[in-house]
Structure 1
Amino acid sequence: MNINKEENHVQSVVRAAHILQLVANSDHPITINQLSEETNLNRTTVWRLLETLEFLHYVERDLPTKGYQLGYAPYRLFSKNNMYLSLIRKARPLLEKLRDEINETVLLSVPKHNGTLTIDQIDAPHSIRPINLVNRLLPSHCTSNGKLLLSRLSIEEFNLILDRELEPITRFTITDPTLLQEELNWVRDHGFSLSLREWDESENGMSVEITDNRNELIGFISLLGPYQRLSKDKMLTLAPKIKSTAKEIAEKLS
């Protein structure tokens, strides 16, 4: 956003919105100096805008770093329109229990036309852990939940996917259509899927489906962690536990 082109807009609103976007997009609390540099505004102007946003609870200060992060107002603003709020609320206690039992990051996602959307993430207390993927749309051919989605496609639908060249996200991404079809056959046989450094070279993941009593797809539970810690062998042993959690969530939704 070029905040210098503001002839037809209220300047202070444009500047405040830009600052709010920068805070929201930052993976860690962002400082006044960083915001000043990003917006080309002087430090005093940024401070005054942050004071207003903080008063309205759109941002809040992180005391240890003295940086700024999102407050609760944005979440309250959009929560009434969050179509997945009921699913998140009912699934979260079971996902937190699963996280505590396996000590790895647990994600909840839903199918979309061109991938999967992460709607909740419960991190384990490790110093090395996945980035926040909430509200991120991820591709299908290289993620564990995406493979589950692909495994439900008919041959005709799968061929449409193959009309587009499969992008090699990492050197481990499966881009050969024949190999991908073999992978999807394995997924159908075992009832869960794996991603072995295919989306991020440092991470492995596994997913199971959440389905209703008609076998209609509701969403996915996924585990994600460093490949050294969350090995293929470990994920294979965890599959029954993840499936059991998915079944419990489905029962709560029925």
Structure 2
Amino acid sequence: MSRTSEPGRTVSSRLMELLFSFAPDSPDLSLADLARRTGLPHSTARRLVLELVDAGALDQRPDGRFSVGLRLWQLGTLAPLTESLRTMAKPFMEDLYTALDQHVQLAVLEGQEAVILERLSAPHAVGLVSQVGGRLPLHCSGVGKVLLSHAGRQMIDDVLSRKLRRHTDNTVTDAQLLRRQLEESRRTGFALVRGELTDGADSIATRIMNHEGRVVAALSVVVRAGSVQPHGVLPSVITSGLGLSRRLGWRPGVPIRDSSGS
């Protein structure tokens, strides 16, 4: 039984299930799609979806499909951490993009995945598996490894205790090797990932700290394998990360803390 059909589920929880059915790879859905994804009866899904349309949270297109509404998008822009990060990160990302002509992206930790807040992409750059608003695995992406290495011991244990998906032949799935990589990333503040998530794509990522020294995001450049030397790009990425961290109030001498604050 779908959790949306379980007795005792509130109307608000069902509304949230409908809204969270939308994703970067499925920005518009039919009523049948929404009913199937949530497990709601078709009549219930229709009633709730039309209420969301009336409220401006969803838009209904001429072909009958639904998409996220303007009012819901406006509400999302009020999230203080994500919007201030995007705004402050933009100049640093633009400088990296101009200098390297490669993908540059900013990501934060949400649950046990990394969410891409912003990305600048060169037309000729290597193809990537996700887009802005999309999610990346923690164990095999550059931003993911940086975020996981600073997420605390319990989070690391939780992620590494489950079966890890192998995305390419280079994906590291051995828990002990990953622990060593995460320890190194926590010590240095950066991660180099070579073709683990996407064949032919290397990622150079670094941490972003706030005024408390808490790691709140990761910044990365993703390059086509062989197009540049990752260690040649690394100083620019780290410098940009430190510059953005300073904008968020961090200063040298402030201890680096996990994203949880510990």
Q: TM-score, normalised by structure 2?
A: 0.65
80-89 or 204-213: bigger deviation: 80-89
8 Å CA contact 2:114, 2:136 repeated in 1: yes
Alpha carbons of structure 1 residues 160 and 77: separation in structure 2 relative to 1, 3 Å = closer
Retained in 1: the 8 A contact 2:104–2:221?
yes
Aligned ranges for residues 223-238 of structure 1 at < 5 Å? 223-230=221-228, 234-238=229-233
Task: State whether residues 207 and 223 of structure 1, in contact with CA within 8 Å, keep that contact through their aligned partners in structure 2.
Answer: yes
Partner amino acid, structure 2, of 1:149? L
* Shift in CA distance, 127/142, structure 1 to aligned 2, threshold 3 Å: closer
- 1:175 is aligned to 2:173: yes
Call closer, same or farther: CA 1:179–1:90 in 2, change over 3 Å. Answer: same
Q: By how many angstroms is 1:149 displaced?
A: 2.0
Task: State the distance in 1 between where 2:176 and 2:91 align.
Answer: 40
2:120 maps to: 122
- Provide the aligned length of Structure 1 versus Structure 2: 206
The runs of 5 or more residues in structure 1 that have no matched partner are: 22-47, 59-69
1:49 alignment counterpart: 62
Q: Which residue of 2 aligns with 1:195?
A: 193
Q: 1:170 to 1:122 in 2, by over 3 A?
A: same
Q: Cα–Cα, structure 1 residues 150 and 6, in superposed 2: closer, same or farther, change >3 Å?
A: closer
Are 2:241 and 1:246 aligned?
A: yes
Kept in 1, the 8 Å contact 2:147–2:217? The answer is: no
Task: Measure, in 1, the Cα distance between the counterparts of 2:94 and 2:238.
Answer: 15
For residue 102 of structure 1, the aligned residue among 100, 107, 116 is 100
How far 1:252 sits from its partner (Å)?
2.4
> 1:128 & 1:148 partners in 2: Cα distance?
21
In the alignment, the residues of structure 1 paired with residue 113 and residue 120 of structure 2 have an alpha-carbon distance, to the nearest angstrom, of: 21
Aligned pair 1:79/2:74, yes or no? Answer: yes
Identity %: 22
Q: Is the 8 A contact 2:112 2:159 kept in 1?
A: no
Secondary structure of the corresponding residue to residue 171 of structure 2: coil
**Aligned equivalent of 1:138:** 136
Instruction: Quickly say closer, same or farther: Cα 1:146–1:90, change in 2 above 3 A.
Output: same
Q: CA deviation at 1:6?
A: 7.2
State the partner residue of 1:30.
none
Query: Counterpart of 1:98 in structure 2: which amino acid?
Result: L
- What amino acid does structure 2 have at the position aligned with 1:111? L
Identify if the C-alpha distance between structure 1 residues 154 and 96 changes in structure 2 by more than 3 Å, giving closer, same or farther.
closer
Q: Which amino acid aligns with 1:145?
A: V
CA contact (8 A) 1:79 1:85 kept: no
Displacement of 1:134 in angstroms is 0.8
For 2:192 and 2:141, the matched residues in 1 are separated by: 8
Q: Distance in 2 between the 1:190 and 1:250 partners?
A: 15
Describe the superposition over 1:117-147 as per-residue Cα deviations: whole angstroms up to 9, x where unpaired: 0011111242644355211121111111111
Give SS of 2:147's match. Answer: helix
Letter in structure 2 aligned against 1:175? T
CA RMSD of aligned residues (A): 3.6
